[in-house]
Amino acid sequence: MKIVVIDGQGGGMGKSIIENIRKKYIDVEIIAVGTNSLATSTMLKAGASAGATGENAVIFNCREADIIAGPVGICFANSMHGEISPSLASAVSSSKAQKLLIPMSKCHATIIGISEKPFGAYIEEMMEKLSTFLH
């Protein structure tokens, strides 16, 4: 099982995702893919198996992923203050991988039916959903 965690900005959301996956699933392969080197570095420090940076890294790793995790903005071109290119968003949304996405406000989209919660509650929900794919 290959989990690709994608994040940008400072990589804080990806870091939290990776730390929580590592607590429960020690042997799973986690690839940290940052839209910038700071995000990748932050996620690697959280315990990712490997890391890569940039648009091509996202495109390549989305083809190989079983699960993609990250903020919902990774599916929207020009979100996250412009860090998500159209090609990057297309690679994520076109991937056959199961996507586990956390709502965020930097993508200029409101997903109806999603109640606003503290970030930690979204991480808990993600871990519950992830367990259905890993067991």
CATH number at residue 82: 3.40.50
Which whole-number Å values give the CA distances from 1 to 21, 66, 67, 78, 88, in the listed order? 13, 6, 8, 29, 22
pLDDT at 104: 80
- The pLDDT, as a whole number, for residue 6 is 98
pLDDT of res. 107: 64
Looking at the 3D structure of the chain, how many domains does it have?
Answer: 1
- Range of the structural domain that residue 100 is part of: 2-134
CA distance 20 to 64: 22
Per-10-residue mean pLDDT, the chain, length 135: 95 97 95 97 98 97 97 93 95 97 77 84 93 86
Neighbouring C-beta atoms of residue 62, cutoff 10 Å: 23
